[in-house]
Structures are given as C-alpha cells and as structure tokens.
Structure 1
Amino acid sequence: MIKKTLLLITLGLCSIQSVLANVTYTDVLYEQQKIANLTVLPKSLNFTVIGDWGHNGHFYQKDVAHQLEIAMFQTDGDFTISTGDNFYPNGVASVNDPLWQSAYEDIYHGPHTFEPWYVVLGNHDYLGNAQAQLDYSKKSQRWNLPARYYSKTFTLKGGEQILMVFLDTNTLNPEYKTREKYKATQGQNSQAQLTWLNSQLENSQARWKIVVGHHPLYSSGKRYGLTEGLRNLLEPIFEQNGVQAYIAGHEHDLQHNQIDGSKLDHFVSGGGSEARYVKQREFTRFAEATPGFLSFSINNEALKATAINYKGEVRYSTQKRFDQ
C-alpha cells in the first residue's frame, strides 16, 4: 500500500512537471493562475530576481519558472535579474553546451520571461567556462552578461534614475583566494573592481542605487556568520555612497535582512530550484527555506519587494520609502 501511494505521488509530480514544460500561456491561464496579493507601485519599474536555478529542471526549477512567468505578466515586468549559480554543478563548457537548452531556454520559455535578463556569475559558474556565459550575450538577445562586472541605468516614468551595479563577488570573496577549487575566480583584479564600483556609485546622480552580487553580506541561512570577509570590503562602500539595497543569491532560500542603524536593505533570492534551511537571526526581517523568487517594484517614492514561492503564494512583502 505504501509503495503504491509513493508511486502515485511520483506519477503525480511527473505529470505536473510535464504540464509545466509544455504549457501554452494564454490570457485565460494568466487570469486563472493570478498570484493573490501581488501588486506594484504606480509609475514603477518592475522586475523579478531569481538565483541558484540551474538544476536542469529539477528541484522545483520548472515550478518556480512557471510562477516567474505569471508574476512577470501580472506586474508587467521590465526584466529579470539572475543572482548567479546559473548552471549546476559545474557551469557550462561553451556557448553550445546542451545545458543552455535544457536548463535555461526550455525552462524559462514563457513570453514574459523573454524580457531581458541581467546576469551575474556565481561560484558554480566558475567551475566551468565562465567566459562562455559572457559570450552567450552575443548569441541570445535576452541574456545580458556583457562583462564580469557592469552597470545599467534605468529611467523611471517620473524622470528619476535607478543605477543598478552588477558585481563579480567571486573575485572579491577573500575565502576563494586560498581554495584550489575556486582558483579560476582569482584571474581578475579585485582592487580594480572595487575602484570601479566606488566610482560608479560616487559619480552617479541616480535617485536609487542598487547593487547585485552572488554572495550575501548577511545571511539568515547556512552561511550565517561566515560572510564577514566580503562584508568588510563592500559594506563601507555601499554605506558611504548611499546604496539603498543589495541583492544576492548563493543561499538557497529567500531572505530580507536589515541591520539596526543602517538604511541599507539586504535581499537574498537564491531559491530558483533547490531550497536549504534558514533560521531567525538578530537581523532577520524575513527568511524562508522555499523555492521561489523576489519581485521588485520601484518608483520615485518607494521600493517594494515581494517574496513568492513555487506555488505562487506571496510569502512576504515589504516597502521602504526613498527617505527611509
């Protein structure tokens, strides 16, 4: 009886995955599967953030991709950000690696996830051919990874600007300097990146300054207490230049962390497929070990972040005013 039940559950899960892989998106489907309580700010720039997703369709990756498509439609999303670890376990070998099709193109196949993707590299991406992920930007119109680190400025409907800086935190992470496994991450000049980062932030007149990297500076999950090295490098630069939000992945969960006395919000979106445990820490606003992603909405006056799980449920929402 137990074996029969397990077989039925397995077949049911396979059936769900098959449906998700072959779904045709229509106005009726979007309306039927609308994510309750997912709203955006007026006159806003809207985008989703997903990380640590490249498991070739396994570990709820297809379920999360489906809800990502629904959210992008519902919020009229402008783009998607990937916080790295784009392909497991060892990145890709080349721009023609089959993983591009089986772990990316075939998974995020909805019309609204064909809006631009702005990508950073994760540590697992460096275990393969990291340069191939940059080169894929020339092959794919939606995949944007023009350099190991880069910036993009967006203009809001009210005329104000948002500066988004995309880092390669693998090069900066002191932990990787002595680990043979991540030797490839040390081929870049870390000081040059820090100088560039400070210049980008210092010389920008943007109303909002947001930084994206793979590794979090604070974590409520597996790496709680293990992020000090990178934090000591980046946090002073962020604080000095008025960065309002830092968005990372690496931890396989969804988090919002806030340090007492700081105006800098820390978000983690690393639940693109596999989930890992979290705990309530002294700085935790929200943390949940669930596959899912974050949805952001920003206008002149406020930034809103919403955590959505693989079932299409809003698990958390927060909003901060520009002057907070």
Structure 2
Amino acid sequence: MINFKVQFSLLFFLVLNFFNAQTPFEYEKETGYKGNNIPGLTYIEDSFNFLVLGDFGRVGDYYQKDVARELGNATVVLDAEFIVSVGDNFYPNGVQSTQDYHWISSFESIYTNPSLYTDWYVALGNHDYRGSVQAQIDYSKISRRWHLPSRYYSKTFEIENGEKLLLVVMDTNPFIEDYHKSPEKYDGIKKQDTLAQTKWLEQTLGTSDPSIKWKIVVGHHPLYSGGKRKTDKNTLSFEKKFANVFEKYKVDAYICGHEHDLQIIKPKGRKTAQFLSGSGSEVRTTGNREGTIFAAAEPGFMTFSILKNKLLVQTVKANANGAQVLHQHEISK
C-alpha cells in the first residue's frame, strides 16, 4: 500500500509536470530553433499530425517560398509526422529525369526547414504527367524524404492504442477524359488501366482490419469545387465516378488540389468531407457551391490532427508577412 507521503509526492510531481509541460515549438526554441510560431495554430498534446500541400513547384516564385517557410514552422509547432503533396509537384511540365534541375530549384532548395526533412507522401498531378512520371517514382530511391513508390499506393499508420490511419494515394489523372484526347501532352496516360486502379482502390478501402479507425484518400483532382472548375465536365464526371465509392467504404476525408485555392466542401447527405489545398504557390479566385464550409483565395496549406474520436483540420494562410490560421474544422467519429 502506498503511504500518504508517497501519494503526495506523486501528485506534486504530476501537477508540476502539468504546469511545466512544453509545446513542441517551445522545446525547439529553447534548443536553438530560429523559426517562428504560428498564432492561433492549435497543438493538441498526444495528437497524430500531418500537413497537406498542393500545386507548388514553381522555382520558388509566386508564393512558394512564403508557403514553404510557414509549412516548416507549422511542422515544428505540431510536431508533424509527415507531409502530403496532392500533386502538380513541378510546373509547367514536370521533370525529365531524376537529375532534372527542377528537383533542386523547386524542391530541395525551397523546403529547407529541418522539420521538412521528414517523409513526404506524394500524389501525381496533371502537370507531372507532362514530364516523366517514372522519374518522380525513381526519385524515391534517391531522396530520403520523397515517397512515390508507384502511381498509386497506400500506407497505414499507427495512431494510438493500436488504432490506425489508412492513407490511400490515388492517381486521378487517368480518370480525366480530356487528357486522353491529348496523349502527346500527358505522357503514358493511355497506358494506364483505370479498371485495375478502381479494383485496387475498392479492395484497399474495403479492408477488414478492425484496427483501421480513419480512412483518408488523397488525389489531385477534386470531387467538388466552388472555384474555377465548379461546373467543369471533368469535375462533374470525377464526382460521379468516386463520390459514391467513398461513401460506400466510409472514407472520412478526401484530400486534393488542382484548384489553386483553399476549400472545404461536404455536400448534404455525404459522409466524406473534401479538403482542397492547392495554393502552395499560385492563387486563383474561388467561390462557393452547395456544401461549401470554407473557401479562400489565399496561399497556404492545411494541417490535420487526429486524437481519439476527433480530426481537426486547420487552414493556414502564408505570405511575406507570416502565417495566419484562417479556419478550423472538426470531424467527430
């Protein structure tokens, strides 16, 4: 039996630790980190965190350097596990090889915060198809942080107490009909087997693993948009192909880009919420549609934090003046 003195000492220790608890940012600043905090960015102790960036590779121009700087700061603030790229990694025409200078000018020399030397899970965009997709896959063997093992793939992460997150990365490009009309522009597009990928997608999402608590799908093209492509036939067609599939397999979130803005959309009656983060460098005017929860024509990215039955998504604006949290959205299981 623990005596009163031991009980009191234990209680005192716990209370002292509570009041002395440091955030990841506070710890890093004490050890010499030179970056800045992001006011309003919520860190949840013990949460599983990752960041989402899209449509970024522009040799540091437009807003790319500003977004890269604040992406690094946010990774420190949240102690994030990894980064997700939703595609259009290199403008305007992808890369030609693993030695293409675009790797240096648009990636390695831009995302230089030490926190960003973590795992990047990468999707392919339409501009990536204008160069060598195979070169981006092969770069996974050269770079410690670049992960693109194949055109589409999945990865499972342990979150807490044996529960897992299933991250499914699609190659949405072969499902866009207009690209097949210009095969000379989109290298290898006609060779892609959409039936095989759809079968793989359904098998992967249909997992019987009871430890999978969260299902998140990543792709380049949106299911929905209130922006430039709101009524585009390719957007409407993509929704018809996959919105019901995601509902069938109870996908919690679909993460995408393609539109150069920041949007959160969840149409009435749908389980799957769409998070569009496509303003990693260039910004375009956006707007609303049925189900729009948030939309902003601002440069930036999104952060995802999972703890127990909650998923917190924070939308961050980044420019030359710093960073600002524009919106927070929570999903509860």
Is the pair's TM-score, using the shorter chain for normalization, greater than 0.5? yes
Mean CA deviation greater in 35-44 or 134-143: 35-44
1:316 aligns with 2:320: no
For 2:241, which of 222, 233, 238 is the aligned residue?
233
Gaps of 5+ in 2: 1-27
Residue 276 of structure 2, aligned match among 264, 268, 272: 268
C-alpha displacement of 1:28: 8.1
Name the CA distance, whole Å, in 1 between partners of 2:89 and 2:114.
20
| TM-score, normalisation: structure 1 | 0.89
Matches within 5 A, 1:33-52: 33-52=36-55
State how far apart, in whole Å, the 2-side matches of 1:228 and 1:29 are.
50
Q: 4+ runs of 1 displaced by more than 4 Å?
A: 25-32
Tell me how far apart the structure 1 counterparts of residues 80 and 313 of structure 2 sit (CA, whole Å): 13
Native 8 Å contact 2:166 2:214 kept in 1: yes
Q: How far 1:235 moved relative to its partner?
A: 1.2
Match for 1:219 among 222, 225, 235? 225
One-letter amino acid of the structure 2 residue matched with residue 258 of structure 1: K
Q: Contact (CA 8 Å) 1:67, 1:312: kept in 2 or not?
A: yes
Q: Distance in 1 between matches of 2:288 and 2:34?
A: 35
Partner of 1:14: none
Q: Which amino acid aligns with 2:290?
A: E
- The 8 Å contact of residues 55 and 281 in structure 2, kept in 1 or not, is answered as yes
Q: Give the number of the structure whose alpha-carbon radius of gyration is greater.
A: 2
From 179, 182, 187, the counterpart of 1:179: 182
1:233 counterpart SS class: helix
2:97 paired residue number = 94
Q: What secondary structure is seen at the aligned counterpart in 1 of 2:242?
A: helix
Cα shift at 1:299 = 2.1
Letter in structure 1 aligned against 2:73: I
Cα deviation for residue 31 of structure 1 reads 7.7
String of CA shifts for 1:193-234, please: whole Å, max 9, x gaps. Answer: 000000001124311000000001001111102211111111
Shift of 1:43: 2.6
Q: Provide the C-alpha distance between the structure 1 equivalents of 2:323 and 2:30, rounded to a whole number of angstroms.
A: 17
**Counterpart for residue 71 of structure 2:** 68
- Alpha-carbon distance, 1:173 to partner: 1.9
Cα distance per residue 1:73-99 (max 9 Å; x no partner)? 000010000000000000001000011
- Residue 206 (structure 2) pairs with residue 202 (structure 1): yes
Structure 1 unpaired stretches of 5+: 1-24
**Percent identical residues:** 46
RMSD of equivalent CA atoms: 1.6
Q: Do residues 284 (structure 1) and 292 (structure 2) align?
A: yes
Q: Hey, what does 2:5 align to over in structure 1?
A: none
Give secondary structure in 1 for the equivalent of 2:315.
strand
- Looking at structure 1, the residues matched to 131 and 279 of structure 2 have their Cα atoms a distance apart, in angstroms, of 21
Q: 1:182 & 1:140 partners in 2: Cα distance?
A: 25
